[in-house]
Chains A and B, each alone.
Chain A
Amino acid sequence: MVEVEKIREEARRLLQEGQVRGVIGYVRGPQGVWAVPAMIRNPEDVDRLVWNPTCVHNLVLFVVEEKKEQARQKEPDKRPLAVVVKGCDSRAINVLLQEKFIEREEVILLGVSCENSGVVDKKKLLNLVPSQKIEEIVYGNNGHIVAVIDGERRVFPPEEVLADRCLECQANFPVVYDHFFGEKIKKEAINTSPGVDKIEKMRLEERRRFWEEELSRCLRCYACRSVCPMCYCTECVVDPISFAVEPTTTAEEKAKKIKWIEKSPLLSENFVYHLVRAIHLAGRCVDCGECERVCPEDIPIRLLNKKLEREAWRLFNYVAGMDSQAPSLFSTFKETDPEDFIR
């Protein structure tokens, strides 16, 4: 079991000794039981840190945000950040290292084990229990999740309440860390993605209908992109919203911005947007599931990334974020890469 007090101790020590400029972790949120991310800068605040099955967020996003913020500052605090990472999150760190977005010295990784379980899918749990009554959500035995409701413990089997990605996860402890809390229990997922299986088994027509239905709801709010630690680009190629048009911007400069897709959420444009995003995340997506969690339209975005995750493994034996020293999926090749699709 992860003893949260040990995480706090380490966080306190790092802050007291001035080794880090902050600790990014989870604290109990304003909605009670559901944890939220927090940046702890004072040693006195470390007792707010929690670790439980509601710690769903990929805190690596905040490492990215901090890094961008640092670039804007004149005299930034160059001390590292401590950050609590789960297995998937730690692989996101590896991808950022691989892509030289951050240096290893910039982070102190407080790795946590997912207790041979995972994090809770809020929607699933709320379907079973009204939220206002839940006082506490903790890990039970054998991957079970325990919710304390009106002082009473209710035990849920993992398949009922865990996030899909956790049920499918095969690396439920960090691959890179400086301190590790809990036990490394290698979990064997029964199926790495039943959702992908389901789509693969559909006929072409059905697949198209499925995705048309799903993607027609996309509002192009870009929550998926905003929450993704891998979407750290200065401008997104498909939608250069951050392209600053200033009075001095010439018509030519404006004309030179390629409009790969229309801004309006037409189905065709939604398709292209999500396909480009999926391709750009191939070999980089660590399946932290954040995109899907934040989607206001409940579009199963993960299923696109999962498909490419599966193919990257099947075709190239590549798993994102396992090795920060290896070249990226698309910046390397093997002589023996499959080419039976090529005429």
Chain B
Amino acid sequence: MNSEHEPKIVAFLCKWCSSAGSDMAGVSRLEYPSNVIPITVMCSGSVSPLYILSAFNLGADGVLVSGCHPGDCHYIKGNMYARRRMALLKELLPYIGLEPERFQMSWVSAAEGLKFTQIIKEFVKQLKPLGPQTQLRRSL
């Protein structure tokens, strides 16, 4: 396995908490690896499992879905629906052989810039030894 592999991570961040939290990391100048490309969505509840599977299919080595902590959702309960959907996906992916580390979910509030950076750092650290994700990656 290639330990120098730089994993490509897509992070679906809800606009109100997690994207704001990653902004907070920026404002606080907290450094973290550049492997993650953020995609801001309105709510973690709007993240369809299709997005995650498609991200892997389009070559992502890891996918993060991050929303507001329970009770803090800007839309009251979007994150609760997300939690259910993602719980099943989280079980399904390793069942077909995908490393469980490749799909993660987190609650990051607008104030948790530090937590955001820690999650990304940890994520990158976990993915590096796994090498590229090829199982769901489209190869023409």
Specify whether A and B are partners: yes
Give the interface of A toward B (CB within 8 A): 199-200, 204-212, 237-238, 260-262, 266, 268-269, 271-272, 275-276, 278-279, 282, 304, 307-308, 311-312, 315-316, 329-331, 333, 335, 337-339, 341-343
Select which of B77, B90, B96 is within 8 A of A275 by beta carbon.
B96
* B54 pairs with A204, CB closer than 8 A: no
* B140 pairs with A333, CB closer than 8 A: no
* A330 pairs with B136, CB closer than 8 A: no
The 5 A-B residue pairs with the shortest CB-CB distance, nearest first, are: A208-B97, A207-B97, A343-B106, A333-B80, A311-B91
- Choose among A212, A329, A338, A339 the residue with the greatest number of B CB atoms under 10 Å from its CB: A339
Extra 8 A-B pairs, beta carbons < 8 Å, given A276-B49, A331-B81, A333-B84? A207-B97, A272-B53, A275-B93, A307-B91, A307-B92, A307-B95, A311-B91, A342-B106
Name the residue of chain B whose CB is nearest to the CB of A312: B88
- Choose among B87, B95, B105, B135 the residue with the greatest number of A CB atoms under 10 Å from its CB: B95
Chain A, interface SS category: helix
Chain B: residues with Cβ within 8 Å of the partner, total of 38
* B83 pairs with A237, CB closer than 8 A: no
* A207 pairs with B57, CB closer than 8 A: no
Within the complex, the shortest CB–CB distance from A297 to chain B, in Å, comes to 17
Select which of B53, B84, B105 is within 8 A of A330 by beta carbon.
B84
Within the complex, the shortest CB–CB distance from B43 to chain A, in Å, comes to 14
User: Is B89 an interface residue when CB atoms closer than 8 A count as contact?
Assistant: yes
A208-B135, A260-B50 given; A329·B84 CB < 8 A: yes
User: Is B128 an interface residue when CB atoms closer than 8 A count as contact?
Assistant: no
Total A-B contacts with CB atoms under 8 angstroms apart: 118
Question: How far does the alpha carbon of A208 sit from the alpha carbon of B133 in the complex, in Å?
Answer: 12
A268-B136, A282-B88, A329-B84 given; A276·B50 CB < 8 A: yes
Give the interface of B toward A (CB within 8 A): 49-50, 53-54, 56-57, 70, 77, 80-81, 83-99, 104-107, 119, 135-140
A307-B95, A311-B91 given; A260·B54 CB < 8 A: yes
Within the complex, the shortest CB–CB distance from A181 to chain B, in Å, comes to 36
What residues on B are CB-neighbors of A207 within 8 Å?
Answer: 94-97
A204-B94, A208-B96, A337-B84 given; A266·B105 CB < 8 A: no
- Choose among B91, B96, B105 the residue with the greatest number of A CB atoms under 10 Å from its CB: B96
* A339 pairs with B83, CB closer than 8 A: yes
